[in-house]
């Protein structure tokens, strides 16, 4: 029986391994983590992350061929294939701070693998890492290899949060990069055999290690660039009377462009897009490719600009001050169908409004008060971009915000309502009831283009929607 161990039981490690266990009943999968709380949650009825379909898959496999454990070293030493899916955040201090990937967790995992291994291992980079990371990992693993062979593969994960299980069950592609040596080819085949249990052969593609590593950064950079492109257009639409949805529809009909990922919004978030682009920027700078670095930097700058544009629109529409006014925030997660708030645009928008002394009432179906508390108290890490969000956020104790049990409670007596996440339930709200319970004039600021602006205007709302003609 092939034994797989995954180091890191997070948003990637948990769902990915659950699907491997589901599709490969003859493989034993152990997911390990240094966070005992996370492992405890994976073994409980309250999984540590929310993903549609995840609970069913975990419940089907847990205790059979899927195990969540804190015994990291034991499972690593027993495994044939070790996935490393630890976090690789942006460095916050020292060389490359604000751009480079922090590989502290990766290095510590690699050192532990080297220490505890007693048999040959395939070590798979599942985390998103800078191109050439495998070279460093090889040095760590083989430094004192005790005659053990380590083969490093790059197998970046392309799942999107909110659709992770669907993406894993039916991936557009599985990418496996390895050394072009007999050992490398054998390792690639072993990993291919795992995925081949459910992924069609033409969707499993192989590459050299550096292409595979770089492809993940490139994919996220292209996706984020697409969002910043449409968001840049949304600003121009607002200035000219064009409608960004109509522009997206028109350009998306061009088969060279395609219709997907052309929705304008308050900005992209999530733990990956910004982090991976900054990482790309750093790699370009390290290679002396300054103009290329500047090109990718602009994607993040436009994203920051979009968030500050939204805040400015809220404040300027509400007669240039929101001081003491209640504003309802509907949606805090960075996208629908997830409870993840990492780098969510809601953080910057809320901080901007709190900076202008608004009173916020926040509602998100999957985000807890503790998460919001943590997010709003963290200071934004500034890197060298000139676009400043509202700089004067009141000290934590002076901030006035609370969390509501539902959307109707959040909007009661509010002067304005901001939609920051595209949860389906926000499309179905009774907006007449909401209008009746709000202060007048009642403002709606739709950061995700989920409401029917014309209908809301008929009710009496003043509506601002991203990239749409302003209230007539
Ligand atoms: P996460 O923070 O949710 O999970 C990482 C886990 O690794 C944590 O639970 C942490 O405790 C654990 N960990 C860290 N060091 C460890 C060690 N030495 N031993 C055991 N456990 C350790 O992160 P994530 O969102 O799952 O992302 C993991 C990687 O996958 C990142 O590189 C990310 O860029 C990449 N990725 C993320 C997504 C996504 O949508 N979240 C998609 C594709 C790729």
Q: Kindly report, residue by residue over 147-168, the tens digit of the pLDDT.
A: 899 999 999 999 999 999 999 9
With a 6 Å cutoff on the Cβ, whether 90 touches ligand 1 is no
Ligand 1 centroid vs 89 CA: distance in angstroms?
9
What pLDDT, on a 0 to 100 scale, did the predictor assign at position 388?
40
What pLDDT, on a 0 to 100 scale, did the predictor assign at position 143?
86
* Best probe residue, ligand 1, of 7, 33, 70, 160 (max atoms within 8 Å of C-beta): 33
Write phi, then psi, for 4 (nearest 5 degrees).
Answer: -115, 140
Banded pLDDT at 342 (limits 50, 70, 90):
very high
**Sequence-distant (≥ 6) Cβ neighbours of residue 81 within 8 angstroms:** 2, 3, 4, 5, 121, 122, 124, 190, 191, 194
With a 6 Å cutoff on the Cβ, whether 105 touches ligand 1 is yes
Q: Kindly report, residue by residue over 351-360, the tens digit of the pLDDT.
A: 999 999 999 9
Of 42-56, 247-261, 290-304, 458-472, the poorest mean pLDDT is in: 458-472
What pLDDT, on a 0 to 100 scale, did the predictor assign at position 154?
98
Question: Where does 3-199 sit in CATH, by number?
Answer: 3.40.50.720
Ligand 1 atom closest to Cα of 12? 26
Ligand 1 centroid vs 185 CA: distance in angstroms?
27
The percent of the chain in helix, strand and coil, each rounded to the nearest 5, is 45, 15, 40
Burial 371-408 (b: 16+ CB within 10 A, else e): bbeebbeeeeeeeeeeeebbeebeeeeebebebbeebe
- ipTM surpassing 0.85: yes
Contact assessment for residue 207 and residue 219, using Cβ atoms and an 8 Å cutoff:
no
Q: Whose CA is nearest to atom 27 of ligand 1?
A: 87
Ligand 1 centroid vs 106 CA: distance in angstroms?
10
* Best probe residue, ligand 1, of 10, 47, 102 (max atoms within 8 Å of C-beta): 10
Ligand 1 centroid vs 12 CA: distance in angstroms?
6
Ligand 1 centroid vs 364 CA: distance in angstroms?
24
Q: What is the mean pLDDT of the chain?
A: 94
Q: What is the C-alpha separation between 366 and 50, in angstroms, rounded?
A: 8
Q: What is the C-alpha separation between 98 and 360, in angstroms, rounded?
A: 29
What pLDDT, on a 0 to 100 scale, did the predictor assign at position 217?
98
Banded pLDDT at 32 (limits 50, 70, 90):
very high
Ligand 1 centroid vs 14 CA: distance in angstroms?
9
Ligand 1 atom closest to Cα of 86? 7
Pairing of strands 121-125, 81-84: parallel
What is the residue extent of each domain of the chain?
A: 3-199, 242-465
Q: Whose CA is nearest to atom 21 of ligand 1?
A: 33
* Best probe residue, ligand 1, of 271, 335, 338 (max atoms within 8 Å of C-beta): 271
Over range 447-467, report the average pLDDT.
97
What pLDDT, on a 0 to 100 scale, did the predictor assign at position 471?
65
Q: Is 286 a catalytic residue?
A: no
With a 6 Å cutoff on the Cβ, whether 13 touches ligand 1 is yes
What pLDDT, on a 0 to 100 scale, did the predictor assign at position 1?
87
**Percent above pLDDT 90 for the chain:** 92
With a 6 Å cutoff on the Cβ, whether 438 touches ligand 1 is no
Predicted confidence (pLDDT) at residue 382 exceeds the cutoff of 60: no
Q: DSSP letters of 342-354?
A: TT-HHHHHHHHHH
With a 6 Å cutoff on the Cβ, whether 161 touches ligand 1 is yes
Ligand 1 atom closest to Cα of 275? 34
Banded pLDDT at 386 (limits 50, 70, 90):
very low
Q: Kindly report, residue by residue over 213-241, the tens digit of the pLDDT.
A: 999 999 999 999 999 999 999 999 999 99
Predicted confidence (pLDDT) at residue 403 exceeds the cutoff of 60: yes
Q: Kindly report, residue by residue over 5-21, the tens digit of the pLDDT.
A: 999 999 999 999 999 99
Q: Kindly report, residue by residue over 295-316, the tens digit of the pLDDT.
A: 999 999 999 999 999 999 999 9
Banded pLDDT at 437 (limits 50, 70, 90):
very high
Banded pLDDT at 145 (limits 50, 70, 90):
confident
Pairing of strands 28-32, 174-178: unpaired
What pLDDT, on a 0 to 100 scale, did the predictor assign at position 387?
38
Predicted confidence (pLDDT) at residue 393 exceeds the cutoff of 80: no
Architecture, CATH, for domain 242-465: 3-Layer(aba) Sandwich (3.40)
Q: Whose CA is nearest to atom 37 of ligand 1?
A: 12
Question: Which entry of 61, 272, 284, 418 is annotated as an active-site residue?
Answer: 272
What pLDDT, on a 0 to 100 scale, did the predictor assign at position 377?
84
Q: What is the C-alpha separation between 66 and 75, in angstroms, rounded?
A: 12
Banded pLDDT at 378 (limits 50, 70, 90):
confident
Q: Which two tokens stand for residue 357?
A: 């002394």
Predicted confidence (pLDDT) at residue 256 exceeds the cutoff of 80: yes
What pLDDT, on a 0 to 100 scale, did the predictor assign at position 265?
98
The neighbour count for residue 255, using CB atoms within 10 Å, is: 7
Over range 73-98, report the average pLDDT.
95
Predicted confidence (pLDDT) at residue 390 exceeds the cutoff of 60: no
Same fold, 3-199 and 242-465: yes
The neighbour count for residue 285, using CB atoms within 10 Å, is: 17
Over range 52-72, report the average pLDDT.
98
Banded pLDDT at 396 (limits 50, 70, 90):
low
Strands (E), 107-216: 121-125, 150-154, 174-178, 204-208
Q: What is the C-alpha separation between 433 and 367, in angstroms, rounded?
A: 24
Task: Return the SS3 of 203.
Answer: helix
What pLDDT, on a 0 to 100 scale, did the predictor assign at position 203?
98
Ligand 1 centroid vs 287 CA: distance in angstroms?
27
* Best probe residue, ligand 1, of 39, 71, 85 (max atoms within 8 Å of C-beta): 85
* Residues recorded for the chain: 472
Ligand 1 atom closest to Cα of 112? 18
Over range 422-450, report the average pLDDT.
98
For the chain, the straight-line distance linking the first and the last C-alpha, in angstroms and rounded, comes to: 67
Predicted confidence (pLDDT) at residue 395 exceeds the cutoff of 80: no
Predicted confidence (pLDDT) at residue 277 exceeds the cutoff of 50: yes
Q: Which two tokens stand for residue 35?
A: 């966070």
What pLDDT, on a 0 to 100 scale, did the predictor assign at position 472?
59
């Amino acid at each position: 029986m092939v034994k797989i161990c995954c180091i890191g039981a997070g948003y990637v490690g948990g769902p990915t391994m659950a699907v491997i266990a589901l599709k490969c009943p003859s493989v034993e999968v152990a997911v390990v983590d240094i966070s005992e709380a996370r492992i405890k949650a994976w073994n409980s009825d309250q999984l540590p992350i929310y993903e549609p379909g995840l609970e069913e898959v975990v419940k089907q496999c847990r205790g059979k061929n899927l195990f969540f454990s804190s015994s990291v070293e034991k499972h690593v030493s027993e495994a044939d294939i070790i996935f490393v899916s630890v976090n690789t955040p942006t460095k916050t201090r020292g060389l490359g701070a604000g751009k480079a990937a922090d590989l502290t967790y990766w290095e510590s995992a690699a050192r532990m693998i080297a220490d505890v291994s007693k048999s040959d291992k395939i070590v798979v980079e599942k985390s998103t890492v800078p191109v050439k990371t495998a070279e460093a990992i090889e040095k760590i693993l083989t430094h004192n290899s005790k005659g053990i062979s380590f083969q490093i593969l790059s197998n970046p994960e392309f799942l999107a949060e909110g659709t992770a299980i669907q993406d894993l069950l039916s991936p557009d592609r599985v990418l496996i990069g390895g050394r072009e040596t007999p050992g490398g080819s054998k390792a690639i085949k072993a990993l291919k055999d795992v995925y081949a249990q459910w992924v069609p052969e033409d969707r499993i593609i192989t590459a050299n290690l550096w292409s595979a590593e770089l492809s993940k950064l490139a994919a996220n950079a292209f996706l984020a660039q697409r969002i910043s492109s449409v968001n840049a257009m949304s600003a121009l639409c607002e200035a000219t009377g064009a409608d960004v949805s109509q522009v997206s529809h028109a350009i998306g009909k061009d088969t060279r462009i395609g219709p997907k990922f052309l929705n304008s919004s308050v900005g992209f978030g999530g733990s990956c897009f910004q982090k991976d682009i900054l990482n790309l920027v750093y790699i370009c700078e390290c290679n002396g490719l300054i103009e290329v670095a500047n090109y990718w930097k602009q994607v993040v700058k436009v994203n920051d600009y979009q968030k500050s544009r939204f805040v400015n629109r809220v404040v300027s529409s509400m007669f240039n001050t929101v001081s003491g006014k209640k504003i309802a925030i509907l949606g805090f997660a960075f996208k629908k169908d997830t409870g993840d708030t990492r780098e969510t645009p809601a953080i910057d928008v809320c901080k901007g409004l709190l900076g202008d002394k608004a009173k916020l009432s926040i509602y998100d179906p999957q985000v807890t008060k503790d998460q919001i508390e943590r997010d709003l108290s963290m200071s934004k890490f500034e890197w060298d971009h000139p676009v400043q969000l509202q700089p004067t956020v009141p000290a934590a104790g002076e901030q006035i915000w609370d969390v509501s049990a539902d959307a109707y409670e959040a909007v009661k007596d509010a002067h304005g309502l901001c939609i920051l996440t595209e949860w389906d339930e926000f499309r179905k709200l009774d907006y007449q009831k909401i209008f009746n319970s709000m202060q007048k004039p009642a403002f709606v600021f739709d950061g995700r283009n989920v409401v029917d602006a014309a209908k809301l205007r008929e009710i009496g709302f003043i509506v601002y929607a991203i990239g749409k003609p302003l209230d007539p």
